[in-house]
Chains A and B, each alone.
Chain A
Amino acid sequence: MKNEIDISIDFAGVELANPVFTASGTCGYADELSDFVNLDSLGGFITKSITQNPRKGNPAPRIVETDSGMLNAIGLANIGLEKFIEEKLPTLEKFSAAVFVNLAGKSIDEYVDVAKRLANEKSLAGFELNISCPNVAEGGIHFGTDPVQVAKITAAVKKAVGEKILMVKLSPSVTDISQIAKAAIEAGADAISMLNTFTAMAIDIETRKPILANKTGGLSGPAIKPIALYMVNKVYNEVAKKYKIPILGGGGIRSAKDAIEFIIAGATAVSVGTASFIEPNCTAKIVDGIKNYCSRKKVKSITELTGSLEV
């Protein structure tokens, strides 16, 4: 007899044990995190952004804490495609969680090349297209703010990934996020991931200089949650619902309550980033908290909660 609450979901055709993902760049390639949390408790795992060649990243300081949040300007520092395949993929293969590789690049060709190289890896469920990094001079967010560019890159990468799922990760730093989501979906995105960080800054009043060496950074953490929640609800109502495309929602989630708010607003699954720095096992706690909620509220399938906002 199983009285364990079932919170499994179908995410764009992939079966997940639960709707909780780790967010890109906040859990590395999983090896370090496994000292603190059982990664098999996750629904999905998203890697740090991978580029074709290794990237050194930005000089220090790369991070600064702000009220209820933090700014980061890492600059997509990563080990590069070859080393990722050689050193990190074998560990990721062992997890029961669905693994998604986050793709970044300077040109559409670079995104396509990396995607092609990984498209046949059996251990990967799919990809997250990062067209929303605020901390690099070329590529990144520049692909994510113009619907025409978004459509072009989404179509090209979708072709490269073949059968695998392609999520497109949106930037909040745009005038109308629904328009960007629509462009990505019409060009073939299987899911929408939102949100990346908000472009922001912090100033040292003694020196009158920006605190981050990169001058600006991306704001994450609890400070962005209410805005992220609003944007997920907006994209759900205006675009995703109509096209029946799932949303991976997040931004500032640190509790099961936060996660459930996102699901009610329209997310099919949720991603947890900054909170893992403070409580590396918080993803597992959120999974348990969602189960408790479902049992208390007699929710039979977690998908009936998605977009269930009463208005």
Chain B
Amino acid sequence: MKNKGMFSAIVSANEKNSEQFYKLELVFDGDGAQQFARARAGQFAELDLANCKLPQAENIPDDLKDSANRKILLRRPFSFSDVKAAGDKTNVEILYCAVGPATLRMTTLAKGDCVSVLGPLGNGFSLPDDKSKAVLVAGGSGAGPIMHLAKQIKADSPNVEINVFVGAATREKLPFENCWFDKLTTGGAKTTVATDDGSAGNKGFVTDCVLNWLNENKSAASETIIYGCGPEAMLKVLAEIAAEKGIDCEVSMERVMACGFGVCQGCAVECKINGSDKTIYKMCCKDGPVFNAKEIVFKTKV
């Protein structure tokens, strides 16, 4: 049986979740419902946003005014923040930021609209079955899949202690007002917030919080796993921390994608061959987007 395909989904909600983030909820039925019900945290879908309307001129942020009218050709990749099977339907939630013409148009999707979706694509995070502690680190628009992963670990590996770290430049750029934070906390996950300017949570980089936490909560390296999703610079630091402490680490990488399913060879991620200096390019969409952090040659200028 096929495990992915092209489906039309119906929008059930699309709302602003915080200053920066929107939450899109899609409903699949039929084959799409079956295939998306099995979607793992870290997998993604390609959405066709080319025919979405632009927002009213006064609702277009200043920094996007110049590029807003650009014609969209390619689909855009998004991971999931939650997937819920309900009877013969599957609800998929996407947490996203408006950063350019396609995501700006995405904000105008309204209840009842139809969206063409390819997916579920790529490989998700592995579950921490042989670990006792999971450290989940989200930066910027990487919050969605980390939220999804926290839920999956809670459901599938209930004995694992979940520690979530969320970083952003400022309070306004956090992925939630309070709801998500509360939900995770009441669900038993410990959540630490860091902002560069200290306007919410700890002041400084989220990776510093992770390092402090690891130093304070000493446990066998083999008992812990780190998961990261966010800007490549953050993932690079996480990978270094993990390597130094001998902790397993999985990171979700982003590349500009043309196809999303492995045919165009566009989304190259440089990977080491068996820990040597020799490298090959793997495809972010098909071999990833989740990789073992040890493999990756991170871009130095990010």
Q: Measuring CB to CB, which residues of chain A are less than 8 angstroms from any residue of chain B?
A: 25-28, 32-33, 35-36, 48, 56-65, 67-70, 72, 74, 77, 221-222, 274, 276-281
Q: Which residues of B contact A32 (CB under 8 A)?
A: 261-263, 286
Question: B39 to nearest A CB, angstroms?
Answer: 15
CB <8 Å contact, A278 and B268: no
| Chain B contact residues: helix, strand, loop or mixed | loop
Contact A62 B73 (CB under 8 A): no
Whether B73 pairs with A69 at a CB distance below 8 angstroms is: yes
A-B contact count (CB 8 A): 103
- A–B pairs, 28, beta carbons within 8 Å: A25-B264, A25-B265, A26-B264, A36-B261, A48-B265, A56-B280, A56-B281, A57-B265, A57-B281, A58-B268, A59-B281, A60-B267, A63-B257, A63-B258, A63-B266, A64-B256, A65-B72, A65-B256, A67-B70, A72-B266, A221-B73, A276-B259, A276-B263, A277-B259, A278-B75, A280-B6, A280-B261, A281-B6
| Contact in complex: A280, B264 (CB < 8 Å) | no
Across-interface contacts of A67 in B (CB, < 8 A): 70-71
Q: Which of A36, A56, A64, A277 has the most CB of B within 10 A?
A: A277
**Inter-chain contact A65/B6, CB cutoff 8 Å:** no
A271 to chain B, nearest CB (A): 15
Is residue B2 contacting chain A, with contact meaning CB distance below 8 A? yes
Query: Complex Cα distance A74/B264, Å?
Result: 8
> B4 at interface (Cβ–Cβ under 8 A)?
yes
> Chain A's interface: helix, strand, loop or mixed, by majority?
loop
Chain B residues within 8 Å of A, Cβ to Cβ: 2-6, 48, 50, 70-75, 116, 118, 255-270, 279-281, 286, 299
CB distance from A254 to the nearest CB of B (A): 9
CB pair A59 B270 closer than 8 Å:
yes
Which chain B residue shows the least CB distance to A31? B262
- Among A35, A48, A59, A68, contact of B268 (Cβ-Cβ < 8 Å): A59
Chain A residues within 8 Å of B4, by CB: 35-36
Q: How far is the CA of A264 from the CA of B257 in the complex (A)?
A: 34
- Chain A residues contacting B279 (CB-CB under 8 Å) are 56
Q: Taking CB as reference atom, which chain A residue is nearest B116?
A: A279
CB proximity of B77 to chain A, nearest CB, Å: 12
* Cβ A70 vs Cβ B258 within 8 A: yes
B5 to A277, Cβ gap below 8 A?
A: no
Q: Are A63 and B264 in contact (CB under 8 A)?
A: yes
**B27 smallest CB distance to A (angstroms):** 21
Bound Cα distance from A23 to B261, whole angstroms: 16
Chain B residue with the shortest CB-CB distance to A37: B6
Q: Quote the shortest CB–CB distance from B42 to chain A (angstroms).
A: 19
| B268 A60 Cβ-Cβ under 8 A | yes
Complex-state Cα separation, A104 to B286, whole angstroms: 24
List, in ascending order, chain B residues with CB within 8 A of A25's CB.
Answer: 264-265
A265–B170 CA distance with the chains assembled, in angstroms = 57
In the complex, the answer to whether B5 meets A68 with C-beta atoms within 8 Å is no
Q: Closest residue to B284 on the A side, CB-wise? A: A60
Chain A nearest CB: distance from B7 CB in Å?
11
A62 close to B48 (CB less than 8 A): no
Cα A153 to Cα B28 with chains together (Å)? 52
Interface contact A278-B269, CB-CB below 8 Å: no
Tell me whether A36 and B259 are in contact (CB under 8 A).
no
The reply to whether B255 and A70 contact each other, CB–CB distance below 8 Å, is no
Query: Which of chain B's residues have a CB closer than 8 A to the CB of A70?
Result: 73-74, 258
Contacts A57-B281, A280-B261; A35 near B74 (Cβ below 8 A):
no
**Given A36-B5, A77-B281: A63 touches B256 (CB 8 Å cut-off):** yes
Q: Contacts A26-B264, A74-B266 known; A280 to B255 CB distance under 8 Å?
A: no
Contacts of A62 in B (CB 8 A): 265-268
B265 in contact with A277 (CB, 8 Å): no
